């Protein structure tokens, strides 16, 4: 691993192209449902701008925004421009921006009105005529989840779920379902209209460079795979800590909670990529077959085990980043008697030959001490310590730490001799940091995912059977928590490392890594 900002021989011989290379994409029309919503403004439109900036959009690219607000084309274009200027990772170039927004259409209307779909169809046909060829169609559902089945079925009714001589795809944002039963129902509703190969279920963590690097680390290096099993690994910790509260999202968050919001999707995806078997190829279905297999090997806790294998908690008042913040129960829009968790910790087991007996601990929470998403793989201690009594105090089991964000990178802790006349040892870190090794900013997750959906590459999207396997693990916990209406919900001070109760989840002398 090298982190110095100097070009290696490889870089000199093969100038690295960071960012999204210009992969050919067929002419495409992208229709965003919920185009005036928060996600569209903060993530989707800025991602589209950055794709345009890099020349990564198809040469012929048409954009339609659909939402309930009564805007004219121009009013919407102005809104989109403002959002891009505010949220884009690079300062927009006005020519590129004009090119992207100049022709953008906006169609106001309710998602259940046939008229809207008639208008969408008419506009898409106009694009096809202008291009003298049918454009691929991507419908992006960035709406409240209750509209997902409505939009899918209306697209089907309007004859928009397929197109002769061009591909039609549907991208569905999270949350995909609310529990196991609703996810099964939503899957069935969507698959009544679209074929699985047309459906792209988003989990934006899969679009993050560092999450994809997990696969590179495991499958492009001979170093790690031999120890990647129960013989060498003591336990795994996956942390997704946030230093923000629920913002203005009480309406959504009250019904979701930390388990649905982060564990069921993002954290379980990290777990799947970390523990899956090497796929025979990086073909979308080969990768997803392996993820599915490992998810199915995770035994969902039985109702009787939930108390011993999980912890839920809520943030109380405290100080985060030097600022006083209120507790969850005092947040605007939150029921003062709410039992919704803002923190969740779990102990899971992957029951297969590779992982049997290796506990995997997950924790996530809002208003914690700092924002960090990381995976820590702790190896077993060395079998025999020859330095006993003469300096083994600092000998710690090796850890492989994958930091997803911030300070993206990988570090490996090693025991090293402290310089001096005696044999004393302490842990040191061997580090690779994205920032210094690649000297370029990584694309945002949504840039990669939008591009992949347009290219029809589903590797970084969740397949229908996978989403069901994910819910099957989480559902028993949701049900047990729902059934328990009396035990007090532990509180943790905002700005802290979480509730003390989470420490008891770790067996033996294992400790959570410091936040
Ligand atoms: C979203 C959750 O899916 O992920 C949010 O709904 C959370 O509550 C966010 O804050 C975290 O994403 P990121 O990319 O900031 O780690």
- 423-469 residue pLDDT tens: 888 899 999 988 888 877 788 999 999 999 999 999 999 999 999 99
Phi, psi of 169 (to 5 degrees): -135, 155
User: pLDDT by residue (tens digit) across 267-280?
Assistant: 999 999 999 999 99
d(CA 446, CA 450): 6
Write out the E strands in 53-143: 61-67, 105-108, 136-141
Query: SS3 letters for 302-342?
Result: CHHHHHHHEEEEEEEEEEECCEEECCHHHCCCCCCCCCCCC
5 — pLDDT class (breaks 50, 70, 90): very low
Indicate the CATH number for domain 21-173: 3.40.50.720
User: pLDDT by residue (tens digit) across 449-458?
Assistant: 999 999 999 9
Phi, psi of 23 (to 5 degrees): -90, 140
Ligand 1 pocket, 234 CB below 6 A? no
- 23 pLDDT higher than 70: no
- 3 pLDDT higher than 50: no
Ligand 1 atom 10, closest CA: 242
What is the DSSP code string of 447-490? Answer: HHHHHHHHHT--TTSB-HHHHHHHHHHHHHHHHHHHH--SSPPP
13 — pLDDT class (breaks 50, 70, 90): low
- 17 pLDDT higher than 50: no
Catalytic residues: 266
The label of the residue with tokens 């009594």 reads 389
- 11 pLDDT higher than 70: no
Looking at residue 130, what is its pLDDT? Answer: 94
Query: Most confidently modeled of 99-103, 122-126, 435-439?
Result: 122-126
Local structure of residue 500 (DSSP, 8 states): G
422 — pLDDT class (breaks 50, 70, 90): confident
21 — pLDDT class (breaks 50, 70, 90): low
Q: Work out the mean pLDDT of the chain and round it to a whole number.
A: 92
Q: Tell me, which fold does domain 207-374+438-443+462-505 have in CATH?
A: Dihydrodipicolinate Reductase; domain 2 (3.30.360)
User: pLDDT by residue (tens digit) across 475-496?
Assistant: 999 999 999 999 999 999 999 9
Is there a contact between 132 and 126 (Cβ–Cβ < 8 Å)?
no
Looking at residue 391, what is its pLDDT? Answer: 64
Is there a contact between 454 and 136 (Cβ–Cβ < 8 Å)?
yes
Residues in Cβ contact with 278 at an 8 Å cutoff, skipping those fewer than 6 apart? 218, 219, 225, 290
* Range of lowest pLDDT (27-41, 171-185, 410-424): 410-424
Is there a contact between 298 and 358 (Cβ–Cβ < 8 Å)?
no
Looking at residue 345, what is its pLDDT? Answer: 98
Q: Domain limits of the chain? A: 21-173, 207-374+438-443+462-505
Looking at residue 22, what is its pLDDT? Answer: 57
Ligand 1 pocket, 242 CB below 6 A? yes
4 — pLDDT class (breaks 50, 70, 90): very low
Strand partners, 413: 399, 429
- 1 pLDDT higher than 80: no
Q: What percent of the chain has pLDDT over 90?
A: 83
389 — pLDDT class (breaks 50, 70, 90): low
More confidently predicted of 418 and 81: 81
Ligand 1 pocket, 261 CB below 6 A? yes
| Stated pTM of the model | 0.93
* Range of lowest pLDDT (15-29, 180-194, 208-222, 355-369): 15-29
More confidently predicted of 438 and 72: 72
User: pLDDT by residue (tens digit) across 322-381?
Assistant: 999 999 999 999 999 999 999 999 999 999 999 999 999 999 999 999 999 999 999 999
d(CA 163, CA 165): 6
Q: How far is the CA of 240 from the centre of ligand 1 (A)?
A: 9
Q: What percent of the chain has pLDDT over 70?
A: 94
Ligand 1 pocket, 209 CB below 6 A? no
Best probe residue, ligand 1, of 204, 209, 260, 407 (max atoms within 8 Å of C-beta)? 204
Ligand 1 atom 9, closest CA: 262
Pick the atom of ligand 1 nearest to 266's CA: 3
Pick the atom of ligand 1 nearest to 253's CA: 8
Looking at residue 385, what is its pLDDT? Answer: 81
């Amino acid at each position: 691993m090298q982190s110095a900002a100097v070009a290696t021989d490889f870089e000199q011989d093969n100038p690295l192209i960071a960012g999204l290379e210009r992969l050919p994409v067929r002419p495409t029309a992208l229709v965003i449902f919920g185009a005036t919503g928060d996600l569209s403004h903060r993530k989707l439109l800025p991602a589209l701008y950055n794709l345009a900036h890099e020349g990564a959009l198809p040469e012929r690219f048409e954009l339609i925004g659909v939402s309930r607000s009564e805007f004219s084309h121009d009013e919407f274009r102005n809104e989109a421009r403002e959002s891009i200027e505010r949220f884009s990772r690079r300062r927009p170039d006005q020519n590129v921006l004009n090119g992207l927004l100049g022709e953008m259409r906006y169609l106001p209307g309710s998602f259940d009105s046939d008229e809207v779909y008639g208008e969408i169809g008419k506009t898409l046909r106009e694009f096809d005529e202008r291009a003298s060829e049918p454009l691929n169609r991507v419908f992006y559902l960035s709406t409240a989840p209750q509209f997902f089945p409505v939009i899918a079925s209306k697209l089907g009714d309007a004859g928009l779920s397929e197109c002769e001589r061009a591909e039609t795809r549907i991208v569905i944002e999270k949350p995909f379902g609310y529990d196991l039963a609703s996810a099964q129902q939503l899957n069935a509703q969507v698959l009544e209209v679209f074929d699985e190969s047309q459906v792209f279920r988003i989990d934006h963590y899969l679009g993050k460079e560092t999450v994809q690097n997990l696969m590179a680390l495991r499958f492009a290096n001979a170093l790690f795979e031999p120890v990647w099993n129960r013989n060498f690994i003591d336990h795994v910790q996956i942390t997704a800590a946030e230093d923000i509260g629920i913002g203005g999202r009480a309406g959504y968050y009250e019904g979701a909670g930390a388990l649905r919001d982060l564990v069921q999707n993002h954290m379980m995806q990290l777990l799947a990529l970390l523990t899956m078997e090497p796929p025979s190829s990086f073909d979308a279905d080969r990768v997803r077959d392996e993820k599915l297999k490992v998810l199915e090997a995770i035994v969902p806790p039985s109702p009787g085990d939930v108390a011993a294998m999980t912890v839920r908690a809520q943030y109380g008042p405290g100080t985060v980043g030097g600022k006083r913040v209120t507790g969850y129960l005092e947040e605007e829009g939150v029921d003062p008697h709410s039992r919704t968790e803002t923190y969740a910790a779990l102990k899971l087991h992957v029951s297969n030959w590779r992982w049997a007996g290796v506990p995997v601990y997950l924790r996530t929470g809002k208003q914690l001490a700092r924002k960090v998403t990381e995976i820590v793989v702790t190896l077993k201690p060395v079998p025999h310590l020859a330095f006993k009594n003469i300096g083994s105090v600092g000998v710690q089991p090796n850890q492989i730490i994958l930091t997803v964000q911030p300070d993206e990178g990988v570090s490996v802790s090693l025991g090293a001799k402290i310089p001096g006349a005696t044999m004393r040892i302490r842990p040191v870190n061997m580090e690779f940091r994205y920032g210094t090794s690649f000297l370029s900013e990584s694309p945002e997750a949504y840039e990669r995912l939008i591009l992949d959906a347009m290219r029809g590459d589903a590797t970084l999207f969740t397949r229908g059977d996978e989403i069901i396997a994910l819910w099957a693990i989480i559902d028993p916990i949701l049900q047990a928590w729902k059934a328990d209406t009396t035990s007090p919900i532990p509180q943790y001070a905002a700005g802290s490392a979480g509730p003390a109760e989470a420490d008891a989840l770790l067996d033996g002398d294992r400790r959570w890594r410091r936040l």
